Structure 1
Amino acid sequence: MMKIDVLSIFPEMFSGVLGHSILKKAEEKQAVSYQVVNFRDFADNRHQTVDDYPYGGGAGMVLKPQPIFDAVENLVQKAEGKKPRVVLMCPQGERYTQKKAEELSQEEHLIFICGHYEGYDERIREHLITDEISIGDYVLTGGELGAMVVIDSVVRLLPGVLGSEESHIQDSFSTGLLEHPHYTRPADFRGMKVPDVLVSGNHRLIEEWRKKESLRRTHLRRPDLLEEIELPSDMKKLLAEIRNQSE
């Protein structure tokens, strides 16, 4: 079972996300356990202050190292098994990808640190964390929403969580490409019809159509992804056909 701990001064934000849908079912299946800790409880002052003015001046407040160090050390001491990955949610971090989600899903214990205010004391970055993650090139009011995104993307990859073990294998980005289009009943909705190949029953042609449409969608929407992967010869041929059709 994976163990996920979250450090936040707003732990109530997580109840709706972790307590519903796939994330809740994953915990019920004992694929994962969650704990959200208010690191304000670890502050060593009677007012439970977790931030202070930055040395050298400047706008905003900075999260102090002591409460976060003590909170993480407490969780590590209580945990059994391997040393956890300690993930700092921060817009300066590594941009999050499906590859990173797959990497984190192999861990036994993850600790997420959600910050607020102007930023973190640099000693947290230098001496406490193992990973620093950003979910995009923009700034949020805190790390909670980012942590929820990462947790959701990791937990759905755990064995037995999704209804079909093949679901996440075919996801966009898992193969390096965007996923092909999907259709369901009715076959004709207000004159908008499902492609004939999908109702043909010919599985070879269906698979070829899906490959080609995955390539087409990636070529049109995220051509940068095609520069990062080595396609097999049959898919290179399909991509050449798509590019010729686009000209």
Structure 2
Amino acid sequence: MKKRAAALLAGVMMLSIPLGVSAAEKKAAPKSIDYVALGDSLAAGQTPYKTLDTGYTDFIVKHLRNADYKVDYRNFGVSGYTSIHLMGDVLMNETVRNEIREASHVTIDIGANDLLYKLKTDPANAAQAVVTVSNNLQTILSEIDRLNSDVDVFVMGYYNAFPYYPQAEQARLMPLLEGLNNQIELRAKMNGDSYVPTFDKIGRNYPAYLPNPMDIHLSKEGYKVIANQFFSQIKIQLILDVINRR
């Protein structure tokens, strides 16, 4: 309820309060953020060419530091992770659980690998992966709230990672991706968390953001777009912090 009320207040205040922050307000603002990133290869920063580099979570940290916040940053993103893997970490990995207990902000992207695996091994029942992700994400988000009721959680919806596929194949895949994103958004809102859409933003420039037609991972420019999507919502919480200290 606290997070839902904060989100509603933010929406109202954003209409009436300028985004600029005075020097006095900036000095009074909280200066320390404990940021935990959870997810798959996108959180890990995997490039379109099978290496790890600067990803969207790193660019979020840059945004925060540019806004004069001291950031304690832990990234638990792992290439190949499914919702089952992440659920296991949140429920049983004491390192992850302790970091969540101390976090002020958590970002999550999870579920794409569940769908990809099902498409590869059992395509006729690929929609079952959406149900699995939805159920596992509910467990993940509710456990995060149990560990830390004050943390702000931001959950990512996926972009179209298959823009170079034939139209007939995309016609089959897009309803599955839409269903996955709908369930991610539903579970985020049910738990009072923020849903971060990326589908439209990445769709504006596939050649720049998904430069390798044989790989689903983003370029640095693509990761910057994702980071901007997250940070636009994180800023609402930061503005609320300033308001609460007036």
TM-score (norm 2): 0.34
- The structure, 1 or 2, with the larger RCO (C-alpha pairs under 8 Å, 6+ apart) is 2
Q: If you compute each CA radius of gyration, which structure gives the higher value, 1 or 2? A: 1
Higher strand proportion (structure 1 or 2)? 1
TM-score (norm 1): 0.33
